[in-house]
């Protein structure tokens, strides 16, 4: 696997992983590498420096850009101040909305149709921009 820093003709910077340098070349030539901000397929590799970690304690734990740091902070706040209810999110949110159980901050997973029905029924829910960490034994 290889990661390239890329830029589009509109000046947006982003990165992406590819199976190999040849895989990138094939995908880019076929117009399959697109900017996530504007959709442009006029994409080029940006000048990159090798990823060298100065201190072992900093290794890959520091977010690369302010958006990643903000997202990490949001996730930490949600996880610290809410109960994870897993796949029972839709049922729990509906029960709270209907007054059958006490209200509390929750997060979890719901099928798209279940989330859509909650919104149509006036239940205040919002998608989170990450998948919950799976807990294993």
DSSP string, 39-50: ----EEEPP---
| Residue-wise pLDDT tens digits, 2-43 | 888 899 999 999 989 888 888 899 999 999 999 999 999 999
In the numeric block, the tokens 């442009």 are attached to 40
Count CB atoms within 10 A of the CB of residue 67: 9
pLDDT given at position 1: 76
What is the radius of gyration, based on Cα positions, of the chain? Answer: 20
Confidence of residue 53 (pLDDT cuts 50, 70, 90): low
Give the residue extent of every domain in the chain: 2-45, 58-120
| Residue-wise pLDDT tens digits, 63-100 | 567 888 888 888 999 999 999 999 999 999 999 999 99
Element (H, E) at 115: helix 112-120
Quick check: pTM over 0.75?
A: no
Q: How many residues does the chain have?
A: 137
pLDDT given at position 7: 94
Confidence of residue 44 (pLDDT cuts 50, 70, 90): very high
């Amino acid at each position: 696997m290889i990661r390239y820093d890329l830029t589009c003709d509109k000046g947006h910077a982003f990165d992406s992983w590819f199976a190999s340098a040849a895989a990138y070349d094939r995908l880019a030539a076929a117009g399959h590498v697109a900017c996530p901000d504007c959709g442009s397929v006029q994409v080029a590799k940006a000048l990159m420096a090798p990823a060298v970690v100065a201190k072992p304690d900093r290794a890959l734990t520091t977010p690369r850009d302010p958006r990643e740091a903000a997202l990490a902070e949001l996730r930490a706040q949600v996880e610290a101040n809410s109960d994870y209810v897993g796949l029972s999110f839709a049922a729990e949110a509906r029960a709270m909305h209907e007054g059958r159980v006490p209200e509390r901050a929750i997060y979890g997973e719901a099928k798209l149709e279940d989330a859509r029905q909650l919104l149509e029924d006036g239940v205040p829910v919002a998608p989170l921009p990450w998948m919950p960490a799976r807990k294993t034994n």
